[in-house]
Structure 1
């Protein structure tokens, strides 16, 4: 069976409610979020999948104070 180009959504963003795919939850060896700098802690909300969607993560990183 051929692997789908885009895996189905596995998470819901706790900030905006968007559905998105976490590579780790989809069984991949990495996730798209590894391309971003590790500046934020993962939200601790088990009901939403505990990750931000790509847009919200990008916005939060851009708004974070410089380290």
Structure 2
């Protein structure tokens, strides 16, 4: 049973498909880190606005961390997502992946490779 709905983004007012909550498939937003509560405001956001909101919230969280506070951070305890997301987990520079602090925080520890965005 397909329960996909067409919704209007509460951020940009564009139309988008939201949710297929059958047992086999999940909504596209389930590929993103589960960092929002439904009560945090408004209705669903389109994929572009949702990604931007995730990036903003993650960047704000990362700015509050010191190396001591990064150990045991909440990112490492979140359910793992199936894929890496450009702009959240990494960006591409000179055709190479550069992992962001969120990627490292999800791993839960320093890999000792001197990564540019290591929060530890």
CA-atom RMSD, angstroms? 2.1
Alpha-carbon deviation of 1:36? 0.3
- Whose relative contact order is higher, 1 or 2, with alpha carbons under 8 Å and at least 6 apart? 1
State the TM-score, normalized to the length of structure 1: 0.64
Question: How many pairs does the alignment contain?
Answer: 53
Structure with larger Rg = 2
Q: Paired residue for 1:12?
A: 8
Which secondary structure state, in structure 2, belongs to the residue aligned with residue 20 of structure 1?
A: strand
How far did 1:44 drift? 5.0
Supply the distance in 2 between the matched residues of 1:41 and 1:56 (Cα, whole angstroms).
16
- Report which of the two has the higher share of strand: 2
Determine which structure has the larger helix proportion and give its number: 2
Stretches of structure 2 that go unaligned for 5 or more consecutive residues are 62-73, 75-120
Displacement of 1:38 after TM fit? 1.4
The alignment status of 1:32 with 2:28, answered yes or no, reads yes
